[in-house]
Amino acid sequence: EAEAEAEVRLLLQEAQESIEAARSYRRELEQRLRGLHQAREQIRESATLTRDVLEQHFNDLKGTLKKLLDERLMSLLQEVDAIEQDSIKPLDECQKLIEHGVSTADELLREGESAVHGDVGPQNEKLCSFTKKALHIQLDSLPEVPSLVDVPCLSAQLDDCLLTILKNQIFRHGTVASRPPVQLEEFVEKPGGILVRWCKVDDDFLPQDYRLQYRKGTASHFEDVYVGSETEFIVLHIDPNVDYQFRVCARGDGRQEWSPWSIPQTGRTTLVPHEWTTGLEGYSLSSRRNIALRNDSQSCGVLYSKAPTYVCGQTLTFRQTVGQPDRRDSLGVCVEQQNGFDSLQRDKAVCISTNGAVFVNGKEMTNQLPAVTSGSTVTFDMEVVQLGPSSSEGGNFKLRVTISSNNREVVFDWVLDHSCVSLYFGCSFSYPGWKVLVF
């Protein structure tokens, strides 16, 4: 009986496992059906949108071409009118002159005939008057009438090759792509931002520039956020825990038009933005408090972050506009805020000076980075180095620190006396003109 019960239990267990496998299999099939449905909807929606775009574009082209042709026709007709008027005007003047001569000749003929056939008494007087008048009119002077070869004969010269050129251009105008040549590849959360990466998926496409757009949610219009040759970009001023849609396109080498847009994808960040603390007299902050400007105040000290928002495993980036440097200037991170210091070149802090010197717990390292320049970035990357159980029980705690500046970096271990994975960041500058963006 025990063996039978064991066999039954084994069969029940196998049956339960088969049922769970069938359920899992069904869920996978349903998920794939949803995927097929989404793919079918994407094809149909994109096809409908493409038809609308093509019809609108070619309707606009037809309207524009008709307008241009009408304008050209009107211009040519006006040119014909002008030539006709300018050419007819002297002929009209000549006609008036000839008609006046005919009228004068008719009048002279009537007067001559009257003088010849008149009475003998007054005949001599009439003949004398007629003869003088005839001499005065200059009957041998005739106006010149231009021959037909000397007057304009208007015609229109219409080159039929325009139709051939237009036909060739029209038949090559526009393409239909089954998929965009670039696609979004990855979203990486940043404090108050998202690092967006994209890649080329068409091996035959040679990109010259990329164009990244985003929008908040789905209600607003897309807007440009980056145009350039890089394949990644950090989009800042992103509200935490809010969906943003992104899309990217590219421009081929030597071309002016942009490729079709990639499929829009949604990205978000759960990390709150880095902010400088307010109230320090020597610094002015932007509205989002992620940019600090060293002002003209004589007050000096370290400007810290509002909270310990830098977490090990992330990248902390400073981008700055430079002012007059000083050896006590500093950019870096620290375990805690300590007032009374004018620099992060102190205990429980690592920093870089504006001349490129690296300080760990107030001591200058032998290795040095290039001097900070305007528009350059300084980045801090840290990861926890595991030292065993004692690392979380008050023993030594080690962080591996990488500081990069101007394409060079230094790597070292920073030993602390207790566990610390959330750190403050800070900066200090002796002279005005320095401006630092943190992200």
Cα–Cα dist 223/216, whole Å: 10
Cα–Cα dist 276/309, whole Å: 10
Q: Which is more confident, 192 or 129?
A: 192
Measured torsion, CA atoms of residues 221, 245, 225, 439, in degrees rounded to the nearest 10:
140
- Give residue-wise pLDDT tens across range 222-277: 999 999 999 999 998 899 999 999 999 999 888 888 998 999 999 999 998 999 99
Cα–Cα dist 53/244, whole Å: 25
Q: What is the pLDDT of residue 133?
A: 74
- Region 70-97 average pLDDT: 92
- Give residue-wise pLDDT tens across range 230-242: 999 999 889 999 9
Alpha-carbon separation of residue 4 from 10, 212, 418 (angstroms): 10, 68, 60
Bridge partners for 358 per DSSP: 352
Alpha-carbon separation of residue 17 from 9, 11, 13, 27, 28 (angstroms): 12, 10, 6, 15, 16
Single-letter residue type at 54 = L
- Give residue-wise pLDDT tens across range 94-113: 899 888 888 888 887 887 77
Q: Where are the domains of the chain?
A: 7-116+129-152, 182-269, 283-388+395-438
- Give residue-wise pLDDT tens across range 162-215: 888 989 889 988 888 788 999 999 999 999 999 999 999 988 889 999 999 999
The answer for 394, left when phi > 0, alpha when psi is -120 to 50, beta otherwise, is left
Single-letter residue type at 310 = Y
Which homologous superfamily is 283-388+395-438 in? Answer: SPRY domain (2.60.120.920)
Instruction: Give the residue carrying structure tokens 């929606």.
Output: 45
Q: What are phi and psi of 187, to 5 degrees?
A: -120, 130
Q: Which is more confident, 310 or 148?
A: 310
Class of 182-269 per CATH? mainly beta
Confidence of residue 401 (pLDDT cuts 50, 70, 90): very high
SS3 304: strand
> Which residues contact residue 218 at a Cβ distance below 8 angstroms, ignoring those fewer than 6 apart?
245
Q: What is the pLDDT of residue 5?
A: 83
Q: Are 400 and 420 in contact (CB under 8 A)?
A: no
Q: How many other CB atoms sit within 10 Å of the CB of residue 83?
A: 12
Of 337, 333, 293, the closest CA to residue 436 belongs to 293
> Which residues contact residue 146 at a Cβ distance below 8 angstroms, ignoring those fewer than 6 apart?
91
Residue 289 corresponds to which tokens in the numbers above? Answer: 């408090």
pTM above 0.75, yes or no: no
Q: How many other CB atoms sit within 10 Å of the CB of residue 294?
A: 23
Q: What are phi and psi of 149, to 5 degrees?
A: -75, -15
Q: Decide whether 182-269 matches 283-388+395-438 in CATH topology.
A: no
